[in-house]
Each structure stands twice: as C-alpha cells, then as structure tokens.
Structure 1
Amino acid sequence: MSTSLEQLASQAIALSPEDRARLADLLLASLPDEADESLDEAWDQEIQRRLGAVESGTARLVSATDVHAAAHNIYRR
C-alpha cells in the first residue's frame, strides 16, 4: 500500500461510523458497473440454486425461531 493510500485509510478510519458508511457507499458507487454486473449474475445463480433446492425438497430449511435461538446461544457463551 502506498504511503498516500495508507494516510487516506488512516484518515478514513478516524471518521465517525456514519461518515465511514457514506464514504464506503461513495467508493462503491464509483466502481465500474462490470463489477456490479458480475456480482448480480453470481447472486442470481445462487438464488436459482437455492430456490431449486427448496422446490426439489433437498434443502434443509430452518425456522427463524430456531435461527434466533441458535444465535442467542452463541452470543451467550
């Protein structure tokens, strides 16, 4: 990482969480659309794979209640 990039990163980290989030949004929006398109395509494929598993009955479905209980147990440790 170049010195100027390190300085910029250090300054960015010193920002409030809200300003860091805004900066992250601005930086992500500045990336070429091709990156977004490849991510969108990958997510579309993953969604179709998961939907197919649910429809075929091969997916192991977990209720939201069970997920919340498991998460609660993890954080209690």
Structure 2
Amino acid sequence: MATTVEKLAEQAMTLSTESRARLADLLVESLDAHELGHIDRLWVAEAKRRRDEVRNGRVEAIPGDEALQKVRDAVRR
C-alpha cells in the first residue's frame, strides 16, 4: 500500500522544527522549474528567497504557534 501525501505530511509534522525545515528545503530544491507553471515558479522563487533571508540572518523566524497567536490577536481587535 502506497503512502499518501496526507500520511507523509502527518509523519513530517512529528519531526522537530529543524528537521521539518530541512525537509521543506529538500522538497523545494527538488522542484524542477521547467515543469512548473508560471505561478508555481514564482512561489518556488519566493520560498527560496524567504529561506535565504532566514539563513543569512536578515529575517528572524518565529515559532508557528506564536505567529498564529499574533494573527488571532490582531483579528480580534
């Protein structure tokens, strides 16, 4: 029985933050831009740009739960 994308995602979510980031990096790097549509190519470029900003220290990453709480707080105002 083949593993579905949903099962893989569920398993990936049990990884540490660092491991999930590494996995995301590997997945983005594996995309072949020539096979993607225009919008998908733009999203890949954006993902790589954001990754590089974090790696270079230009942007400080915050935990997802903290970011979601900030959004929830802003929406409640």
The interval holding the TM-score normalised by the smaller chain is: 0.3 to 0.5
TM-score by length of 2: 0.44
Larger Rg computed on CA atoms: 1
Higher helix proportion (structure 1 or 2): 1
Greater length-normalized contact order (CA 8 Å, ≥ 6 residues apart)? 2
